[in-house]
Amino acid sequence: MIWDVATSKAIRTLTGHKDIVWSVAYSPDGKRIASTGWDDSLRIWDAETGELIREIVDKSGKLMGVVFAPDGKTIATVKRGGDVEIRDAATGDVVKAFDAQAATFPAVAFDATGKRLFATSSVTEIISWNLEPGEDQVPNYFTRVRNHACMAVSPLGDAFATPAPGWMIQVRDLKTLAVRRTLLGNSNTVRSLAFSRDGKLLASGSEDKSVRIWNIASEKQERVFTDHTGAVWSVACSPDGRWLASASEDMTIRIVLIDDIGE
């Protein structure tokens, strides 16, 4: 669905999932959208037309988080049982899998270089793997950052955002973990976060059915979209900074034009 920015209403919808749409992600070139749902499917869509390009069905566990690598060649997914996998973006085949230490990770994220992969958990720490060739890929735990259902890494490579108690959002330094900004305004659990391409804006999706756009520097809300009829499980910004996609338990993926925000 495409939203009219002036009215904050959606005017186009991507449909096809037969259960909750858990996660959505743009490819680095902005031409594809990947989505995962509790219908056991990974779907790849044409971002411009909304047409379904490919559907990969995986009955081994409900698919949750999804994200494209910065080079667009691979996609990382995570299952409800905790399996973190890297897939070929063209075929959907699994090319690498990671031991999730029996934890449940609902979300995954790459850093700006594609050399680190992060997974977040609502019951344990954030975990990361070094993907550089020759590394043993032993998981690294962020022991001071716990109980987060989602995470977004700034494209500038210096910060990340996570939910915090009290329906807050915190933006932290990626190296020191110090809190830089605190964003207030959601009225229920925050389920997804996404930075804009310049790192100045942050989008959030919440169980309060809202999609919110935040100005990180001022800690203020720039826009609120309330067209979903169910909890919003995922948000993703397009690489050109013009569009924001959101996925919901209402089984829809909606797209909003955001290129006028922050001007």
pLDDT of residue 102: 47
Q: How many degrees, rounded to 5, is the angle at CA 42 between CA 41 and CA 44? A: 135
pLDDT in tens, 149-206: 788 999 998 999 988 888 999 999 988 889 999 999 999 989 889 999 899 999 999 9
Residue 109: strand pairing partners: 118
- Residues paired with residue 193 on neighbouring β-strands, in sequence order: 204
CB 77 within 8 A of CB 63: yes
User: Alpha-carbon torsion 177, 107, 61, 139, what sign?
Assistant: negative
Torsional sign, CA 205, 189, 161, 28:
negative
Contacts of 151 (CB under 8 A, 6+ apart): 107, 109, 118, 120, 126, 160, 161, 162, 193
Report which residue type is found at 183.
L
Give the pLDDT score at 263. 56
Separation CA 106–CA 122 (nearest Å): 8
Residues of the chain with pLDDT under 70: 1-12, 99-105, 121-124, 134-139, 141-148, 262-263
Structural domains in the chain, CATH included, are: 2-257 (2.130.10.10)
Q: What is the model's pLDDT at position 122?
A: 60
DSSP designation for 104? -
pTM of the full predicted structure? 0.77
Check residue 6 and give its pLDDT: 53
pLDDT value of residue 256 = 83
Return the residue matching tokens 């990947």.
34
CA distance 203 to 216: 10
CA gap 101, 185 in Å, rounded: 34
CA distances in angstroms from 213 to 134, 142, 179, 224, 236, listed in the order given: 39, 27, 19, 6, 11
One-letter amino acid of 158:
D
Least Cα distance to 121 among 102, 94, 98 occurs for 102
At 153, give phi and psi (nearest 5°): -105, 130
